[in-house]
Amino acid sequence: MLTQAQNDRLTQVGSGTPGGNLLRRYWQALCPAGEISAEHPKKRVRILGEDLLVYRGDDGSINCIAEHCLHRRASLFFGFIEPGGIRCCYHGWKFDADGSCVERPFESRTHTGLCMPAYPVKELGGLLFVYMGPDPARAPLLPRWDVLVRDDGKRTIVVLPVHDCNWLQIQENTVDSVHTYYLHGHMSVVKNLPTLGQGRFFYRPIESYDWKLCDWGVEKTLVYGGDKPEVEIRPPLIFPNILRIPEGPVEALHFRVPIDDTHTRIFWVGLKPGAPGKTTFEYSPDEPIGDGEKALQTFYGQDRIVWETQGVVFDRSLETLGASDKGIVMFRRMLAEQIDRVERGEDPTIAVVHDDASNEMIKFVSATRPRYDDERHVFDET
């Protein structure tokens, strides 16, 4: 249970908020690289409460600046892309890739130092990432997650519909290990859903659970009893807002990117091992949850139902946690500590990569091994 002030601190994403300041110290997924092309060189993206323009420069570079011109605030989306930058359609003020105002027509003196917010963009695995932190020179490396780097298969990016809720409740679900039993396992079996295959895997008695903090975030272990006692080591929650998960043969990343405090965009990236192929992207249709019948057909939809019904910004002063929520508590504490660090002027320490050697390819594995008898544990209840 959190106070309202604690909840605000963890959930708010806007410029100048403690939580927003932390999120800005991480590269955030912006959009599929394929959305920005010679034919459609401009795209408006709202992210962390800021309205940005991503555009392909005259030289093919991908740039990202604040959407609204610093002069009279017209949208640069309607501007003219020219060699050396973009020109506002209203009065022709021109800005280079760094946001510097390099031309002010109809003005006698050049006002030196006029500058729009501009953020560095990098592409990896077909996805664009932006760094919105205060000092790009202090930016960590863009982590080379295996799913984005591997070339031994076909990579697909899916842009999911906008979720009308805060990012944190989506991310908390990732460290909420035991939810798989009822939401995915029991649900699939009881309703005989298309998710039944993997659902059966989750529908085994859980004997114990464990979480450990690690350099990437939070590691998750689950011990199953029943006919085939096993220990499942899931890939860690990647701090602050990434899920890394195997989905059958596919290795997947889910980027949960805050649009603002009350909306979240998810980019799903999957690598299906096999013949290498060109990375493609697609849009997942937005199906309103409604009575849930359609949403229940997929794991994602099952999760979405609980994310969104927790409230637009889940009011954590109303929750009642148990021991099985220990991972959530650990993740929140990690998040609060990292927010505190940034507030003190320090750098975050979790899931940041600063040397190329460690960044060739960041691999995660999930593994299942037999559970030995001395690891046995039984809950009192059920």
The CA distance from 67 to 51, in Å, is 6
Q: Is 361 in the site for a second copy (CB under 8 A)?
A: no
CB atoms within 10 A of CB 295: 18
**Residue nearer to a second copy on the CB measure, 149 or 305:** 305
- Span 122-181, contacts to a second copy by CB under 8 A: 176, 178-179, 181
For the packed helices 167-174 and 326-343, what is the interaxial angle rounded to 10 degrees? 130
Q: Is 71 in the site for a second copy (CB under 8 A)?
A: yes
Q: Is 192 in the site for a second copy (CB under 8 A)?
A: no
Of these, 6, 198, 298, 324, which contacts a second copy (CB under 8 A)? Answer: 324
DSSP per-residue codes, 72-131:
T--BGGGSEEETTEEE-TTT--EE-TT-BEEE-TT-SS--TT-B--B--EEEETTEEEE-
Would you give the end-to-end CA distance of the chain in angstroms?
A: 24
Q: Is 322 in the site for a second copy (CB under 8 A)?
A: yes
Report how far Cα 360 is from the mean position of its chain's Cα atoms: 21
**Residue nearer to a second copy on the CB measure, 214 or 306:** 306
Q: Is 183 in the site for a second copy (CB under 8 A)?
A: yes
Dihedral angle sign, alpha carbons of residues 21, 149, 248, 246: negative
Least Å from the CB of residue 50 to a second copy: 13
Q: Under a CB-based contact definition with an 8 Å cutoff, are residues 79 and 93 in contact? A: no
Of these, 62, 118, 168, 206, which contacts a second copy (CB under 8 A)? Answer: 206
- Contact stretch for a second copy (CB under 8 A) within 10-18, 186-194, 225-233, 363-371: 186-194
- Contact stretch for a second copy (CB under 8 A) within 53-61, 106-114, 158-166, 260-268: 106-114
- Span 211-270, contacts to a second copy by CB under 8 A: none
Binding mask 24-63 for a second copy (x = CB under 8 A): ----------------------------------------
Of these, 233, 305, 329, 336, which contacts a second copy (CB under 8 A)? Answer: 305
Q: Is 300 in the site for a second copy (CB under 8 A)?
A: no
Q: What are phi and psi of 44, to 5 degrees?
A: -90, 130
Report how far Cα 196 is from the mean position of its chain's Cα atoms: 27
Place of tokens 């940041």: 352
Q: What tokens does 140 get?
A: 């960590």
**Residue nearer to a second copy on the CB measure, 78 or 347:** 78
**Residue nearer to a second copy on the CB measure, 320 or 360:** 320
Q: Is 112 in the site for a second copy (CB under 8 A)?
A: no
Least Å from the CB of residue 310 to a second copy: 5
Q: Is 196 in the site for a second copy (CB under 8 A)?
A: no
Place of tokens 């990579």: 155
- Contact stretch for a second copy (CB under 8 A) within 29-37, 182-190, 237-245, 252-260: 182-190
Q: Under a CB-based contact definition with an 8 Å cutoff, are residues 139 and 41 in contact? A: no
Of these, 6, 35, 57, 77, which contacts a second copy (CB under 8 A)? Answer: 77
Please give the C-alpha separations between residue 201 and each of 248, 325, 381, in angstroms, as whole numbers: 11, 21, 21
Least Å from the CB of residue 317 to a second copy: 11
**Residue nearer to a second copy on the CB measure, 24 or 87:** 87
Please give the C-alpha separations between residue 224 and each of 16, 276, 354, 366, 377, in angstroms, as whole numbers: 44, 35, 38, 15, 10
Report how far Cα 8 is from the mean position of its chain's Cα atoms: 19
Q: What tokens does 110 get?
A: 């050049």
**Residue nearer to a second copy on the CB measure, 82 or 215:** 82
Q: How many residues bind a second copy (CB under 8 A)?
A: 59
The CA distance from 30 to 51, in Å, is 12
Residue 256 DSSP class: E
Q: Is 83 in the site for a second copy (CB under 8 A)?
A: no
Give the footprint of a second copy on this chain (CB under 8 A).
Answer: 68, 70-75, 77-78, 80, 87-92, 103-111, 114, 176, 178-179, 181-183, 186-187, 190, 206, 209, 292, 296, 302, 305-306, 309-311, 314-315, 318-325, 379-382
